[in-house]
Structure formats: structure tokens, C-alpha cells
Amino acid sequence: MPELDVLIEQACNGNRRALSRLITQVERGDDSAETVISHLYPLTGNAHIVGITGSPGAGKSSLVNEIAKRLRHLNQRVGIIAVDPSSPFSGGALLGDRIRMRDLYGDSGIFIRSMASRGNLGGLARATGAAVKVMDAGGFNTILIETVGAGQAEVDIAATAHTTIVIEAPGMGDDIQTIKAGILEIADIIVVNKADRPGADITVKALQAMLQLGHPAKTVHHGTVVDVAGVPDEQSALSWQPQVLESVATTGSGVDDVVDEIGRHYTYLRETGRWFEREKDRSRQEIEQLLTARFIARLVALIPQHERDAVVADVAARRQNPYAAVSQLLEKMMSADFQNLPRG
């Protein structure tokens, strides 16, 4: 395989084989992943990252297919990352999202990559963020991420994407799940897909009602509904109200509106300065995750296994409480660090 810097240069010049290999490198998560990202990072930050989440079979892949076709007509280069779950038993995975994306074949402005979640909860793989960066540096204007589709607690996507689309299919059962999972809180756009199925209008109304609860424009005062006074115009102009749209992903009906809404959200983020706020949130989360991972790795390296096991046993047997145990481990780690390790 060519040297890493050659691969990086090739990928940035549009070589798809090189791009593909770089994604594999970052997915491995070893030292070369760090090297790849540190080289590419200055070239990232331009792509609009759009997440698509929703219950299994809601039509995420089919909708991604239709959205991508339309973005191509707008002359955007589109990267797609489709995440499917790894089996907790075998560690293997069946990645089948491409089946619904065959229309996108043969277009060099499209790049589709399937990823297995590899034990990560939250709807994405641990390396999804890094794969997004590779595509971003490779010059893709919009990157669509399809999440695992557990339908619940897919909060990672909100931290990874600029724009999050939540897909629902008709059926009240799903809607109750939605409230429980709190998934509406992460939605910038809501799409009721399979609008050709009975009950779609009921689902739309239910979702609109729920959004109304979350973003009250009116309030109840002594039993009568009154307009909320005193919300400064400035603030309401700056806030984003998620719309509920309908689509039939198998025919493409309604997808133009979804694409328009994605564009509208992009403009909103850019014009209000929210774009950079989201970048900061993303960076903060990324730093915290790395910090935690490295901190634990150091802890593990500095304190022998048998000592850590002894602390675990003490807590389990109630000889010590977990807080005291952690304080003790941290103290040990700090002193071990300063006394025994070369700096830097």
C-alpha cells in the first residue's frame, strides 16, 4: 500500500481508491487513524453533515437515495455513510443499505460507505466521525449519515450532524415510542415517510401536536389560550421550528420539499451563527471523548491489573464506596505519573 501521505494527497485530488483506503485506516482506530486525521483536519469543516435517523424499516436508505439524487442535480458532491448494527454475538454484521441506493451507481460525484457499529451504542460507529472527516477533506459538499435505526437514544447523530432528520412511518405505536425516546428533541426536520400508507395524516398531526408542546407559540393562562407575549421578535426569528414533511421514498414524492428544507436549515445555521455553535459543540464532545478514552488508557497503563481488581472487589464487598475508590485510583495515578514516567 502506498505511504500515508501519498494516500492523503491522492484522496484530496479525487482518487476514490485512496479515499476508500483512508476510511479503512480511520475505522481501524489505531495510530494511523490519528496520523490521517491530523493531516486532514485543516481541510475539513466545509461539508454540510446531515443525519438521517428513525426506526428500522422506516425508509431511511430509500430516502437517502432520493435526497442524494436531488443534491446531485444541484451539483453537489455527496458522501454517504450508512451504519448498521454489529451482532453482539459474533461481532459480524450484515450491511444491506446499499440495496436501496442502486440508483446512485456509476456517478463519480457519489461515494457510499457502509459501516458496522462495532459495539458502539447511540446509532453510529465509533469511527463514523472520522470517516466523515475523510469525506469532508475529500471535497464532498454534503455528507448524509444513515444511523443504525434502533429508533431510540440515537443521540450521537445530533452531536455529529449539523442537520438531523428524523423519519417516522405511519402508525401510532411509533409515535409513542418517539416521545419516550425523546428523539423529537434532536430533530431539525421530521419526515413522515410511507405517506402512501393509511394513517399518515394522523401521524403528521400527532407529531405536529407534540412539537407544539415542545415549542409553544401559545400558552394557557387561567384556562384560556393566549399568545405568548414578551418573546422578543429577534429571538423567535433566530429560533428554528422543525417542520413535519411527508414523503414516499419509493417514488420520490415529497422529497423535493425535504431537500429544500435541508437547504433552508443550512442557510439558517449559517446566517444566525449557529453553524459555528454546532461546530463548537461537536469539538467539545470530541475532545471530551478522546480525553476520557486516553485518560482511562493511562490509568490502565499506570495501575497494575491486580490493584484495580482489588479496588473493584472492595467496592463490591462494601468495604469501600465507589467515590472513595475513584479518588484513591486517581491519587495513585497522579503520583505514579509524576514519579515514574518521563514527561511528554
Partner 1 sequence: MEEQKIRVLIAKPGLDGHDRGAKVIARSLRDAGMEVIYTGLRQTPEMIVEASLQEDVDAVGLSILSGAHNALVPRVITLLRENDMGDVPVFVGGIIPSEDTVALIDAGVTAVFGPGTRMDVIAATIRKAVAERA
Ligand X SMILES: Nc1nc2c(ncn2[C@@H]2O[C@H](COP(=O)(O)OP(=O)(O)OP(=O)(O)O)[C@@H](O)[C@H]2O)c(=O)[nH]1
Binding site for partner 1 (CB under 8 A): 16-17, 20-21, 23-24, 28, 30, 86-87, 89-96, 98-99, 102, 105-106, 111-114, 116, 118
Binding site partner of 245, from ligand X, partner 1, Mg ion, none, Cβ cut-off 5-8 A by kind: none
Q: How far is the CB of 167 from ligand X (least distance, A)?
A: 7
What is the Cα–Cα distance from 1 to 25, expressed in whole angstroms? 12
Which residues, other chains included, contact 120 with Cβ-Cβ below 8 Å and sequence gap of 6+?
A: 126, 156
Residue type, 149: G
Can residue 97 be called a binding residue for Mg ion (CB under 5 A)?
Answer: yes
Binding site partner of 86, from ligand X, partner 1, Mg ion, none, Cβ cut-off 5-8 A by kind: partner 1
- Closer CB to ligand X, 95 or 210, in the complex: 95
Which of the ranges 52-60, 68-76, 133-141, 255-263 carries the binding residues for ligand X, by CB under 6 A?
52-60
Residue 140, classified by CB atoms within 10 Å of its CB into exposed (0-12), middle (13-18) or buried (19+), is buried
Helix, coil or strand: residue 163: strand
> Do residues 168 and 54 make contact, with C-beta atoms less than 8 angstroms apart?
yes
What is the Cα–Cα distance from 117 to 145, expressed in whole angstroms? 13
User: b/e map of 59-83 (b: 16 or more CB within 10 Å)?
Assistant: bbbbbbbbbbbbbbeeebbbbbbbb
Which of the ranges 4-12, 174-182, 193-201, 327-335 carries the binding residues for ligand X, by CB under 6 A?
193-201
* Subset of 93-112 contacting ligand X (CB under 6 A): 97, 100
Can residue 201 be called a binding residue for ligand X (CB under 6 A)?
Answer: no
| Near ligand X by CB under 6 A: residue from 249, 255, 262, 311 | 249
- Closer CB to ligand X, 9 or 196, in the complex: 196
Helix, coil or strand: residue 119: coil
Residue type, 104: L
Q: Is 118 left (phi over 0), alpha (psi -120 to 50) or beta?
A: left
What is the Cα–Cα distance from 330 to 344, expressed in whole angstroms? 19
| Near ligand X by CB under 6 A: residue from 53, 86, 164, 193 | 193
Q: How far is the CB of 9 from Mg ion (least distance, A)?
A: 33
Q: How far is the CB of 39 from ligand X (least distance, A)?
A: 32
What is the Cα–Cα distance from 163 to 274, expressed in whole angstroms? 11
Binding site partner of 16, from ligand X, Mg ion, partner 1, none, Cβ cut-off 5-8 A by kind: partner 1
Q: How far is the CB of 19 from partner 1 (least distance, A)?
A: 9
CA-based R_g, the chain, Å: 23
Can residue 138 be called a binding residue for ligand X (CB under 6 A)?
Answer: no
Can residue 149 be called a binding residue for ligand X (CB under 6 A)?
Answer: yes
Can residue 147 be called a binding residue for ligand X (CB under 6 A)?
Answer: no
* Subset of 16-75 contacting Mg ion (CB under 5 A): 60-61
DSSP β-bridge partners for residue 185: none
Binding site partner of 56, from partner 1, ligand X, Mg ion, none, Cβ cut-off 5-8 A by kind: ligand X
* C-alpha closest to that of 310 among 286, 333, 329: 329
Q: How far is the CB of 63 from ligand X (least distance, A)?
A: 7
> Do residues 257 and 71 make contact, with C-beta atoms less than 8 angstroms apart?
no
- Closer CB to partner 1, 103 or 337, in the complex: 103
Site string for ligand X, 57-86 (x = CB under 6 A): xxxxxx------------------------
What is the Cα–Cα distance from 7 to 25, expressed in whole angstroms? 11
Could you list the residues that contact ligand X (CB under 6 A)? Answer: 56-62, 97, 100, 149, 193-194, 196-197, 248-250
